[in-house]
A and B are shown apart, each in its own frame.
Chain A
Amino acid sequence: MIEQSVLEEVLGVAMRTGGEFAEVFAEDRRNASAVLDDGRVEELTSGRDRGAGIRVVVGDTTGFAHTADLTEAGLIAAAAAAAAAARGGGGGTNVVALDRRSASRGYDIETYPGDVPKARKVELLGRANDAARAVGGAISQVSVSYGDNRRHILVANSDGLFVEDDTVRTFFAVSCVATGDAGMQTGRESVGHTIGFELFDMYDVDQLARNAADRALTKLAARPAPSGQMPVVIGSGGGGVLFHEACGHGLEADLVAKGASVFRGRVGQQVASKGVTVVDDGTMEREWGNIAVDDEGNPAQRNVLIEDGVLTDYMWDHLRARKEGRRSSGNGRRQSYQNLPMVRMTNTYLLAGEEDPESIIASTPKGVYVKHLGGGQVNTATGDFVFGMTEAYLIEDGKITEPLREGNLIGNGPEVLQRIDALGNDFAMGPPGTCGKDGQGVPVGDGVPTLRVSSLTIGGTAA
């Protein structure tokens, strides 16, 4: 994307005013998407974003500038702006010599979506629409979306690091509205992986569409969710967002350093029930949060955050790790070249236990079974978090009975981690997610086995 000699020149300019660290992050990203709604393929969209972000660190201050101009002159102007923003006081010359490394993700993309005719992508939309509507007359509206993107990044910094990577992601989702006597309900199914068009060898779009339609239909008969505290069983693959919110964000070193995490100062302590092991793993092949290198050029890692209930480590980016004199854990990510990197999760999951999932439900006299969670949100300073249930059922006398309408559940991270009292042997990854932090969205994955929390507050309206 950019010549090595140009990068060395630009980094030299960035460091000339006394910078202690400088970095060029360049990105060339192509997006393609197609939407079918209300029976019509509304449009195909193609887009391209290309540019570079340059940061310069002086003491605790980071200066940042970005540009869509990847010529040498454009990059040097951005480097000078970033250096000025960091208010460096020093002088002299800085020579940066880059050592080129290769990024590896251990598998190959089989079919680049850019090589697939647009007509084939559009054909998938129509098939899914037909399949969803065929489920029944109560399906009153269907929206289907397809998306792929190819993101080529380059990172070069004043420590001599120079690495490039090329990432391909493909996504497909179906949303249905079902209309019944008591109004409308919605159902959704989405799949996404860090792979090419071979996504559709893994999944049958007709089946995905039927799943979405079935979810909407099921909820037509749903009763209001209960209000108050009770045991909650979370289904395999459906509820990784619980850990993303309950502890994931609180283990990001930038928040910990500011005292904005309830997990501050708790490394080495028992923070969760015995048997609970939580991992963040950017190397997980083909998963939505997979990365070969992070957006600071560090290789992705498998990081154990909680092991058998004991907090083992936080997640780190370059800046926080540098301050603590340790290595980055490969968690420095950013939405695009227009953003500064921060500590971010990749694929976050809870390892399986040994129990039979059926017996977990059977041993719950009264509670809620959440098959699919929606999004969530956490206040890391207090630990309070919420997450939505998009498909849930009542458990009565150890059996799954009536479907429930949507609602949020609320809990406190450190308390909920201590209340996990059953772990199934049926681990699965869940649907693709987008994690938002400080206005930046990045793709993340999550996964869980069937598990039970002995008590959570369910925010329904029924007594």
Chain B
Amino acid sequence: MSEDLLAIADRVVAMSKPGEQIEAVVVRGTETEIRVFGGDVESLSSAQSQGVGIRIVVDGRQGFAYAGSLDESAIAETLADARDNVSFATFDEFAGLAEPDGVAIPVLDLHSDALVSFATADKIAMAIELERVVMAADPRISGIESAEYADSISEAAIASSTGIRTVGSETSCFLATYAMATEGDETQTGFGFSVGREPSDLTPSAAAIEAAERATRMLGAVQPASGRLTVVLDPWVTAQFLGILGYTLDGESVLKGRSLFADRLGESVGSSLLTLIDDPTDVRSFTATDADGEGLAARRNVLIENGVLQKFVHNAYSARRAGTVSTGNAVRGIKSTPSVGCLSVSLVPGISDPAALIAGIDDGVLVQEVSGLHSGVNPVSGDFSTGAEGLRIRNGELAEPVREFTIASTLQKMLRDVQAVGNDLQFLPMNATGVSLVVADLTVSGS
């Protein structure tokens, strides 16, 4: 179904002039988003969007342009803009497009016809059911901030004058809800979600019950006393930290002197319990893909193995500059040239379930939500400090809820302070997979 996109990309590539490398990325997306409130549809958005991004390299200089349209006139204008932009770039001997590297594109089942044919009325029913179960879950549930169903069908084709030629289609869908629990004049919130590649993967009741439980268990929360404590990060929180950790391992940051791990390859950078992989070929992952943003095969890369730093991720440019080969980690939309990044990062799970992890802690905190990561974590210096809420752990059991505190350390120290990795892998609507993580000696700032 996406072959027409490849045909457009081929046509752009055919317009290349002598001495010019040219690459076209052509995408089309179909998205539905349904929000419900009070048992009825609050909004239903359905739309198709498309676009093209054209990159040109001539004699070590790169130019780029994009358009949110696949009209012939828009493509012609974009190509002319990209060409015009070339002359303003600084000469860079490493500039150039990706070239086929002999790694076969994996055959992954990422497209579901069941999603494509899923009726709108059934999507609405699923969202209404989600809200209904949240509201019925506990008498203290006072309302929902949001309850939604969303899905997307993303098609992309990449072709280049260097011989890249790929096309693919991926589907995904999720349910998400924020529940509110109220007692007296206090309100607390909690969220729940369910993700999948097709509607049968989704379980509205599990998402709803999780949201209701996360909200109600926070009622009565107090500000904890400041101190240094062992912290259990729940899978959702761990995934957010892994996303940031991924940034510090990208080859471009390393080359440009922005990675705190730049000179540490082969060295121990964390607890021996830590094995960090980037594996976009794991179809369970929300961001699984068969090809990267330059059309090279996606692949499984082991970044940290038993605490030892093994590898940085690269796209074609950063690899060429670093004297290595691309790891298939070009990341891009149509509006920018490829950057470097992890596609689907995950820790290899341990053996203990979350209850066993908590049972082993005398005095600690289970953090179920963090806030302000974008302002509180500096991936260059490694300093971090984020807002947090969760439950105290006393004598191996969950105790009173706590809020309005921060947890702080440095990424470097945190990796060394990991005490255990849980067995509860959780696939989330983001490019990192969650798992419970026990970290000692975090600074808790409260009263």
Contact = CB atoms under 8 A, between A and B. Distances in A.
Contact of A376 (B64, B258, B375, B407): B375
Interface in B200-233: 223, 226
Contact of B376 (A60, A63, A408, A438): A408
A64 interface: yes
B145 interface: yes
B46 A407 contact: no
A44 B383 contact: no
Given A67-B47, A387-B372, A388-B376, A457 B445 contact: yes
Given A384-B403, A405-B381, A459-B386, A228 B372 contact: no
Nearest to A140: B257
Contacts of B408: 227, 407-408, 459-461
Given A62-B42, A86-B44, A375 B381 contact: no
Interface residues of A, number: 83
B44 A85 contact: yes
Contacts of B44: 61-64, 85-86
Contacts of B37: 60, 258
A405 B42 CA distance: 44
Contact of B85 (A37, A46, A50, A262): A46
Given A177-B257, A185-B381, A408-B406, A49 B65 contact: no
B20 interface: no
6 contacts: A45-B335, A67-B47, A375-B372, A375-B375, A378-B371, A459-B407
Contact of B375 (A87, A118, A338, A377): A377
Contacts of B406: 227, 386, 407-410, 457, 459
A51 B62 CA distance: 28
Interface in A34-92: 34, 36-51, 59-68, 81, 85-87
Given A43-B64, A376-B372, A60 B40 contact: yes
- The listed residue with most A CB atoms (<10 A of its CB), out of B145, B178, B383, B445, is B445
Contacts of A236: none
Contact of A47 (B45, B66, B92): B66
The 4 closest A-B pairs by CB, nearest first: A459-B406, A388-B375, A386-B387, A386-B372
Interface of B: 37-38, 40-50, 62-69, 74, 77-78, 81-82, 84-85, 88-90, 92, 120, 142-146, 178, 180, 182, 187-189, 223, 226, 255-258, 260, 335-337, 371-372, 374-376, 378, 380-383, 385-387, 389, 403-409, 443-447
A460 B46 CA distance: 45
Contacts of A460: 385, 408, 443, 445
Interface in A400-420: 405-412
B371 A227 contact: no
A50 B443 contact: no
Contacts of A377: 371-372, 374-375, 387
A177 B256 CA distance: 10
A325 interface: no
A37 B62 CA distance: 14
A338 B49 contact: yes
Given A34-B88, A408-B387, A386 B375 contact: yes
Interface in A414-442: 438
A227 B445 contact: yes
A409 B226 CA distance: 14
A340 interface: yes
A410 B376 CA distance: 11
Contacts of A384: 371, 387, 389, 403-404
Contacts of B48: 67
Contacts of A144: none
Interface in A84-127: 85-87, 118-119, 122
Interface string A16-47: 00000000000000000010111111111111
A225 interface: yes
Given A141-B256, A186-B381, A45 B445 contact: no
B383 A405 contact: yes
Contacts of A118: 84-85, 88
Contact of A43 (B40, B62, B444): B62
Nearest to A59: B40
Given A119-B88, A381-B188, A384-B371, 6 more contacts: A51-B68, A64-B45, A340-B45, A386-B406, A410-B406, A459-B443
B443 A461 contact: yes
B143 A258 contact: yes
B67 to A, nearest CB: 5
A56 to B, nearest CB: 10
Contacts of A185: 380-381
Interface in A169-192: 177, 179, 183-186
